Amino acid sequence: MMRTATFTNRIKVQTNVLPTELTTTEIHETARSIALYYKDGQFVCQTFFTPPLVGEINWVEGLERNGDVHFREISLIGPNLFRLRLTGAENKIRKMCEDDKLYTLIRGIHQTFNETVRNRRYIEVTGRTDHWDVLLSLDKKRTYLANYVDLDGKTTRIRNIIIVGDRLMGLTDKQEMVIGQLTPDVIEQEKVNVKVNRMEEVNKLGKVDLLEPVPNSDDTFLVTIKNEVYQFNIWGELLHFNVLEENVKHINSINFNHTRSIMATDNGIYEMDVLEMPNMVKPASLPRKIVNPNLSKTFKVALYVEDPYILGIHPALGVFAKTEDEKVLFF
């Protein structure tokens, strides 16, 4: 096949149902899989059958759309304490959390973490907007649904939760940012909601679109409002400010890889050089748009991948991106 200037590759994933007891090989495959979901009482992962063509546009086909619960992220937030970002109906989430196989899965993935790898990100193409956040303790073998909080004395559901140090943050339906402190009570006691307050230093800037954590930090985080990116600390102090070009109206995700950040927007995908410092990420360049005909649409997610296990080369660097219509590509 002759390569053309507009060449794109199509690559189909393989699907593997996970056994109750995981071997070391299965643990590494699951941790590094593209998609991870729970369906009909079983955990299932999807991975590349062969590596993609690095440096080319690869459309990823065959991803499951109809699992009961799909994972978006698994991250370590404390000793044997994990935060799970999930999508699915609330009753399906709660049912999965009662399955002992979940603890076996998380215990296995925990073995793949180290001082530099503290989370695993997954792609889901369900089109669902019912996102949930679960805290899971391996020590107590208990879970906590973190989206219900106490705001103004009332139980309120929040979304886009991030955890920075011991602070839980999220957005209300009115796109207001709220913040509260996590304590062991949420795991050790029944029916405890974290008490949160509005962070007025952020909310006075406008309706918040997105919250994202800052890598290697326990007190700073990012806030996006339209095409603007603000870096705050948990005390409400503004540390940095950046703005994308005017035709960006919404930033949907921000991801880092130690030297750069990548942003999925309603006007394509942007990158920016950064300096990762203790408790801070400092911009080292202006944002620049990645120019490619396949990347000029609305993207909901863009994630760096630097794993030779997935890409089949070393050093490895690639990007997973998901479009507004739930199509996934790798480049």
Q: What is the pLDDT along the chain (331 residues), one digit of tens a residue?
A: 545 556 799 999 999 999 999 999 999 999 999 999 999 999 999 999 999 998 899 999 999 999 999 999 999 999 999 999 999 999 999 999 999 999 999 999 999 999 889 999 999 999 999 999 999 999 999 999 999 999 999 999 999 999 999 999 999 999 999 999 999 999 999 889 999 999 999 999 999 999 999 998 999 999 999 999 999 999 999 999 999 999 999 999 999 998 999 999 999 999 999 998 888 899 999 999 999 999 999 999 999 999 888 888 888 899 999 999 999 999 9
The Cα–Cα gap between 252 and 131 comes to: 14
DSSP string, 84-118: EEEEE-HHHHHHHHT-HHHHHHHHHHHTT--SS--
CA-wise closest residue to 196 among 258, 166, 239, 153 = 153
The Cα–Cα gap between 193 and 8 comes to: 48
Q: What is the pLDDT of residue 260?
A: 96
Q: What is the pLDDT of residue 62?
A: 98
Sign, CA dihedral 179-216-229-248, equals negative
| Encoded tokens for 44 | 């299932």
Cis peptide before 315 (omega within 30 of 0): yes
Q: Where are the domains of the chain?
A: 1-145
Q: What is the pLDDT of residue 3?
A: 56
CA-wise closest residue to 186 among 133, 108, 235, 131 = 133
**Amino acid residing at 41:** G
Count of all residues that appear for the chain in the document: 331
The Cα–Cα gap between 299 and 267 comes to: 8
The Cα–Cα gap between 209 and 252 comes to: 8
Given the structure tokens 């997954």, which residue do they identify?
122
Q: What is the pLDDT of residue 181?
A: 98
Q: Edge-to-edge strand order for the sheet containing 177-181?
A: 154-157, 148-151, 194-198, 177-181, 167-171, 159-164
